[in-house]
Structure 1
Amino acid sequence: MALRVIRRARGYTQEDFSSVSSRTYISSLERGTKSPTLGKVEQIATALNVHPLTLLAISFATSPSLDDVSVVLAEVQKEVAALGLPSGGGG
């Protein structure tokens, strides 16, 4: 669902992903009959010009609405904060 929502919002067709995967594979992902690897999620997100987390957040939202995606991202932020990672940039 997330792939279809973002693809349509960007005005892309399934054929526009020929450099990433076949139209049949993209169609299978959109119908939920196949699951992509994380590497494939990254490739698709790059083709969509979005961060991979955007694609995943919409995927895990109850619906493709800003409110539901915000709930998913708030949960991620809470869980990351609970890990006690240091503040600031760098790696």
Structure 2
Amino acid sequence: MTLRENFGGALRTVRRFRRVPQEALELVSSRTYVSSLERGLKSPTLDKIDSIAKALGVHPVTLVALAYLRSHSPAEQQNVLAQVELQLKQLSEFESIASESE
């Protein structure tokens, strides 16, 4: 599966988990656009991911992470999440140090 298809599947999973019909997202996107995303026909912008995630009541990183996790086995998913958590901590610490030295 492509990343675009994985994102579409992740969006569909979150939307169904939250029990939100596609029509309920029309305030941020048309139902046709949401359907195209879910079928992996289109790729959203970061702004659109943010809007859709807010409408679904999840963090945008959740949608993106779930899209990437779909290409890994359940056993590998924990390793991927641990790697991302470590990298985010390291980068956050680096940004703190870098901003103090400016």
Give the TM-score normalised by structure 2: 0.72
Match of 1:79? 87
CA drift of 1:62 comes to 2.7
CA distance in 1, matches of 2:73, 2:57: 19
Give the TM-score normalised by structure 1: 0.80
1:25 aligns with 2:50: no
Q: Deviations 1:52-84 (Å, cap 9, x if unpaired)?
A: 111111111036997665443222112223436
CA distance in 2, matches of 1:13, 1:66: 27
Cα RMSD, aligned residues only: 2.7
Q: Which moves more between the two structures, 57-66 or 2-11? A: 57-66
Unaligned runs of 5+ in 1: none
Which has the higher Rg, Structure 1 or Structure 2?
A: 2
The equivalent position to 1:48 in structure 2, one of 50, 56, 64, is: 56
The equivalent position to 2:69 in structure 1, one of 58, 61, 64, is: 61
Give the number of the structure whose residues are more often helix, by fraction.
2
Query: What percent of counterpart residues are identical?
Result: 49
| Relative contact order, higher structure (CA 8 A, sep 6+) | 2
Query: Cα gap change, 1:9/1:65 in structure 2, threshold over 3 Å: closer, same or farther?
Result: farther
Pairs aligned (count): 88
